[in-house]
């Protein structure tokens, strides 16, 4: 189809060639739908010649085939539509006449935002076209007009797609908190690209620590003593605790949040909190090694030891010898965890047969309780 055929078809009002171009909107919402307005070709809509062209393009690549096509093909609106809905950057090779077709440009940028590079200046300054492009590929912001690179909705959409395009945004928008948050929430390195006065802004840091606590490594010292900020940071990553001021390492809520992720975080807690029974048990539920970080005096507390035994019988290795020689205490320990009999003093294990019997009875009781939960088929099979 050449230019004359195209003109005749459009003059005849052929609906399969082109819809009436929509009016240029005065403003476009960030989530404004644009795809519904555009005509796209399906395989069943193609003529035999168009189907043959499409098959060749699928095999060799749309970009390559359209680049090497004669002018008559580049000026064919149906073939251009077919090419652009499969390879937006083929916009580079359509005829100059078709590059003035707003619907075709929209088809192109919705398939590949980078097609905006090959659009005319008119469409690089068209808010709807540019918005469609940057939502598909944030890097398309580079080809937007200077006016649209200063547009809040356009830049926010682009940055939400890829934070690195901050480099193309107008300087004023590098001070915009919504845009900054969209960038920092993707990658902490975005901080280096925002306005200097926001790089040490408390709210920006609060958003940043939710993404990567390592931002605290370069934060001003007074923020490391900011309880709310450090609590948020630790709740998202316990390793933020290593940046906390000493006073906050003695804050029970902060340490509790940290050991709830990894018991090893107890190592960064103050000595006072390592004597906190509840805190140690909370940490040990995730990591039994937390017992090794607890204050030694806790293992002389019989109540603590009996609770700890429910998690790990090896805590008795940290208990004073005198307690392990106490028959009454050891009987309680065995009741809490039958493996405790392995850690009684040698004398007590050798001389006290009743203690060993109690251990066997406790194991038998555990076995009976486990057997009650075994399906009948498994019991029959074991027999």
Q: Could you please report the per-residue DSSP string of 95-148?
A: -TTGGG-HHHHHHHHHH-GGGGGGS-HHHHT-HHHHHHHHHH-GGGGGGS-TTG
Average pLDDT, the chain: 81
The mean per-residue pLDDT over the stretch 235-253 comes to: 93
Evaluate if residue 379 carries a pLDDT over 70: no
Evaluate if residue 19 carries a pLDDT over 80: no
Evaluate if residue 226 carries a pLDDT over 90: yes
The mean per-residue pLDDT over the stretch 331-351 comes to: 76
Evaluate if residue 20 carries a pLDDT over 50: no
Evaluate if residue 246 carries a pLDDT over 70: yes
The mean per-residue pLDDT over the stretch 324-337 comes to: 88
What's the number of domains the chain is made of?
3
Evaluate if residue 22 carries a pLDDT over 90: no
What is the pLDDT at residue 26?
35
- Length of the chain, please? 383
Judge if 177 and 219 occupy the same domain.
Answer: no
**pLDDT digit string, tens, across residues 188-215:** 788 888 888 888 788 888 888 888 888 8
Judge if 5 and 129 occupy the same domain.
Answer: yes
What is the pLDDT at residue 30?
43
Judge if 41 and 145 occupy the same domain.
Answer: yes
* Structural domain boundaries, residue 225: 208-294
d(CA 12, CA 41): 19
Higher pLDDT, 242 or 54: 242
What is the pLDDT at residue 353?
53
Judge if 290 and 302 occupy the same domain.
Answer: no
Q: Among 9-13, 98-102, 250-254, 286-290, which stretch is predicted with the lowest mean pLDDT?
A: 9-13
C-alpha triplet 291, 294, 298: angle, nearest 5°: 100
What is the pLDDT at residue 326?
87
Q: In 112-267, which ranges are continuous DSSP H helix?
A: 121-124, 127-136, 152-161, 177-184, 196-199, 202-209, 221-224, 227-236, 252-259
Q: Among 138-147, 158-167, 322-331, which stretch is predicted with the lowest mean pLDDT?
A: 322-331
Q: Among 26-40, 116-130, 136-150, 330-344, which stretch is predicted with the lowest mean pLDDT?
A: 26-40
Check: CB of residue 95 under 8 Å from CB of residue 74: yes
Categorize the per-residue pLDDT at 252 as very low, low, confident or very high, splitting at 50, 70 and 90: very high
Q: Among 26-35, 296-305, 330-339, which stretch is predicted with the lowest mean pLDDT?
A: 26-35
Check: CB of residue 166 under 8 Å from CB of residue 157: no
Judge if 255 and 313 occupy the same domain.
Answer: no
What is the pLDDT at residue 311?
93
Judge if 77 and 126 occupy the same domain.
Answer: yes
Judge if 212 and 336 occupy the same domain.
Answer: no
Last residue of some domain: 174, 199, 224?
199
The mean per-residue pLDDT over the stretch 346-364 comes to: 56
Spatial CA neighbour of 355 closest among 332, 377, 375: 332
Which of 61-70, 246-255, 354-363 has maximum average pLDDT? 246-255
Last residue of some domain: 232, 263, 294?
294
What is the pLDDT at residue 352?
54
What is the pLDDT at residue 348?
59
Judge if 256 and 342 occupy the same domain.
Answer: no
What is the pLDDT at residue 33?
43
The mean per-residue pLDDT over the stretch 102-128 comes to: 95
pTM: 0.58
The mean per-residue pLDDT over the stretch 71-83 comes to: 88
Judge if 309 and 287 occupy the same domain.
Answer: no
Judge if 98 and 112 occupy the same domain.
Answer: yes
Three-state DSSP state, 375: coil
Last residue of some domain: 240, 270, 294?
294
Judge if 7 and 147 occupy the same domain.
Answer: yes
Higher pLDDT, 363 or 284: 284
Q: Among 25-39, 55-69, 235-249, 331-345, which stretch is predicted with the lowest mean pLDDT?
A: 25-39
Residue 134 CA: distances (Å) to CA of 106, 127, 129, 164 = 12, 10, 9, 12
Judge if 290 and 307 occupy the same domain.
Answer: no
Q: How far apart are the first and last CA of the chain?
A: 84
What is the pLDDT at residue 367?
55
């Amino acid at each position: 189809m050449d230019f004359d055929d195209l003109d005749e078809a459009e003059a005849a009002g052929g609906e399969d060639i082109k819809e009436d171009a929509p009016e240029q909107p005065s403003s476009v919402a960030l989530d404004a739908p644009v795809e519904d307005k555009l005509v796209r070709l399906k395989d069943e809509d193609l003529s035999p010649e168009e189907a043959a062209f499409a098959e060749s393009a699928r095999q060799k690549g749309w970009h390559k085939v359209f680049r090497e096509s004669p002018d008559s093909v580049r000026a064919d609106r149906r073939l251009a539509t077919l090419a652009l809905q499969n390879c937006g950057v083929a916009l580079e090779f359509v005829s100059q006449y078709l590059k003035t077709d707003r619907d075709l440009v929209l088809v192109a940028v919705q398939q590949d935002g980078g097609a905006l590079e090959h659009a005319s200046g008119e469409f690089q300054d068209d808010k709807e076209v540019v918005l469609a492009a940057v939502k598909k590929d944030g890097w398309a912001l580079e080809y937007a007009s200077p006016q649209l690179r200063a547009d809040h909705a356009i830049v926010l959409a682009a940055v939400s797609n890829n934070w690195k395009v901050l480099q193309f945004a107008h300087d004023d928008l590098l001070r915009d908190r919504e845009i900054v948050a969209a960038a920092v929430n993707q990658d902490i390195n975005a901080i280096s690209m925002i306005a200097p006065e926001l790089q040490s802004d408390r709210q920006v840091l609060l958003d940043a620590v939710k993404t990567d606590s390592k931002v605290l490594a370069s934060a001003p010292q007074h923020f490391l003593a900011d309880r709310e900020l450090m609590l948020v940071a630790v709740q998202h990553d316990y390793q933020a605790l290593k940046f906390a001021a000493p006073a906050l390492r003695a804050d029970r809520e902060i340490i509790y949040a940290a050991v709830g992720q990894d018991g090893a975080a107890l190592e960064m807690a103050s000595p006072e909190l390592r004597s906190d029974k509840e805190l140690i048990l909370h940490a040990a539920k995730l990591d039994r090694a937390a017992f090794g970080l607890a204050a030694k005096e806790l293992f002389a507390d019989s109540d603590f030891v009996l609770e700890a035994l429910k998690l790990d019988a090896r805590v008795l290795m940290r208990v004073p010898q005198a307690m392990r020689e106490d028959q009454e205490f050891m009987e309680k320990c065995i009741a809490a965890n039958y493996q405790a009999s392995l850690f009684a003093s040698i004398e007590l294990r050798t001389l006290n047969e009743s203690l060993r019997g109690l251990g066997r009875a406790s194991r038998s009781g555990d076995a009976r309780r486990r057997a009650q939960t075994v399906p009948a088929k498994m019991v029959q099979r074991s027999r």
